[in-house]
Amino acid sequence: MKHLKATALQATLVNQGMSEEDRRRIAFDGDGLLVPEQMTEQIEALLATATDQAALSMTRASLLAVIADEHAETLRRMTGNYTVEDRDTWPRQQAWADAHLAGNDRYDDLLVGLLTAAEREAAGENAATIMANRIAEKVIISDKLTSAAGNAKREAEAAVTAMATVAELESFEAALVATKADREAAFLAALAA
């Protein structure tokens, strides 16, 4: 028997490339694979492929995480750096605004409560309407941004998933960094449309 260094992931990938009979002839000992001498070349070739597959999987997973983080950061930054907790209230605020704009005054106190004292004083009797209109505008902008950013994220994820080499993934990541300003300009253009 010969001992070949291998990670658990490499051992799993090697096992996937072997017949059931050959699988019974090797063992993973936590530090590598124990293989019969006559299978050494076959296993070394499978380990090389497994190493490439492991590197590809790890690079792809890392890049998908970068894309997810960048998506979240872009949305946060482009929505005025509101916290997730703030954004979680937006559907309720939208419901209050929609009700007010439809003629229902049930939530007017809540809308007025979102204004500062100076804003309330300046708006007078129109305070609820002013806040409802601000919210309605914010919803339109947020929806456009969410759509544009979501599309960019899905396109990037699809591209990464389709790539077959670490070099392609690394090149794509470099392009993501280089075109960040262009993507944000496109998001801003989507907001203005």
Instruction: Give me the residue spans of the domains in the chain.
Output: 2-192
Q: What is the pTM of this model?
A: 0.66
Question: pLDDT class for 12, splitting at 50, 70, 90?
Answer: low
* 27-28, strands of its sheet edge to edge: 2-5, 32-35, 27-28
Q: Between residues 37 and 159, which one has the greater pLDDT?
A: 159
- Write the single-letter amino acid at 10: Q
Find the mean pLDDT for residues 95-108. Answer: 96
Question: pLDDT class for 47, splitting at 50, 70, 90?
Answer: confident
* Residue 109: predicted pLDDT: 96
Q: Between residues 9 and 150, which one has the greater pLDDT?
A: 150
Sign of the alpha-carbon dihedral angle for 151, 154, 156, 162:
negative
